[in-house]
């Protein structure tokens, strides 16, 4: 893709689409333009048949230290409504391909909300997480209260949200907010290694597994089971299903084409 953006960098390598937040002088503070660019790039990768997985990271000392307060401090409720402030965040939530976050440094406020939009999270061991919005007289508005509660449960989520305290990478791992803690200097290496493993998998299976798991998070068991079965049946119309099972019988590595 490699389309030029103002606030992010993009690259595609070996079936992996990379999106890097690129406002390092302000610790990648997130404004509306940045979110729009992230979503536009993610949607382009989602439509690109050569891309199997997306990696989201931040340039500089932080993944994202929060929302751009200068952009928000004087805005009114009516202006936020007319802007439809979180419409791009909703688009990000329906990306079909797996999104892996490689996060480090400060992951605060809107930065944590962005991280929680990922499907898999690898964090540097010195990463700090938190929702400091309560100290600004507001609260998370891009899904923070909802996603954190689904991951941690009511009691722990309320503790972090009501106090605005920070959480270490090891605490985040303990409470199921992230998947792995790795040495800071190995963060991208380990993330890309995992992304390459996914990129070798059949892309239709990846998409439908993600869809089924997200359904499980928000739906009664029976509804999730119905979608799972439909997706299971659907994959038997794919060329990759034929190749995968044929390769298993022939005791060789499958060559998936994403079809």
Residues acting as catalytic residues: 67, 110, 113, 133
CB 112 within 8 A of CB 130: yes
Distance CA 66, CA 132 (A): 9
Rounded Cα distance between 136 and 165, Å, is 13
Question: What are the structure tokens assigned to 117, written together?
Answer: 């939009």
* Sheet of 128-130, strands arranged across: 106-108, 128-130, 166-168
Least Cα distance to 50 among 11, 21, 87, 82 occurs for 11
User: What strands, in cross-sheet order, belong to the sheet with 120-124?
Assistant: 8-13, 16-21, 53-58, 99-103, 120-124, 180-182
Q: At what angle do helices 221-235 and 203-218 cross, to 10 degrees?
A: 170
CA atoms within 13 A of residue 19's CA, in its CB half-sphere: 29
29 near 64, Cβ under 8 Å? Answer: yes
């Amino acid at each position: 893709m490699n389309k030029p953006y103002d606030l992010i960098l993009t690259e595609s390598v070996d079936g992996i689409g990379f999106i890097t937040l690129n406002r390092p002088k302000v610790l990648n503070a997130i404004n509306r333009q940045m979110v729009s660019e992230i979503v536009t790039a993610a949607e382009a990768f989602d439509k690109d048949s050569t891309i199997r997985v997306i990696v989201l990271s931040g340039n500089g000392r932080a993944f994202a230290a929060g929302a751009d307060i200068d952009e928000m401090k004087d805005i009114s409720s009516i202006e936020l409504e007319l802007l439809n402030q979180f419409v791009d965040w909703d688009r990000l939530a329906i990306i079909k391909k797996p999104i892996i976050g490689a996060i480090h440094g400060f992951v605060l406020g809107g930065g944590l909300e962005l991280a929680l939009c990922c499907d898999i999270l690898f964090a540097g061991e010195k990463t700090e997480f938190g929702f400091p919005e309560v100290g600004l007289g507001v609260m998370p508005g891009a899904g923070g209260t909802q996603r954190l509660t689904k991951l941690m449960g009511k009691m722990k989520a309320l503790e972090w949200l009501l106090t605005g305290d920070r959480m270490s990478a090891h605490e985040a791992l303990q409470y199921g907010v992230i998947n792995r803690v790795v040495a800071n200097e190995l963060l991208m290496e380990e993330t890309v290694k995992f992304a390459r493993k996914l990129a070798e998998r059949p892309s239709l299976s990846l998409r439908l597994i993600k869809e089924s798991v997200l359904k499980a998070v928000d739906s009664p068991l029976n509804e999730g089971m119905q979608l799972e079965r439909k997706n299971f049946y659907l994959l038997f119309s794919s060329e990759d299903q034929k190749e995968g099972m044929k390769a298993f019988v022939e005791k060789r590595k499958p060559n998936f084409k994403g079809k």
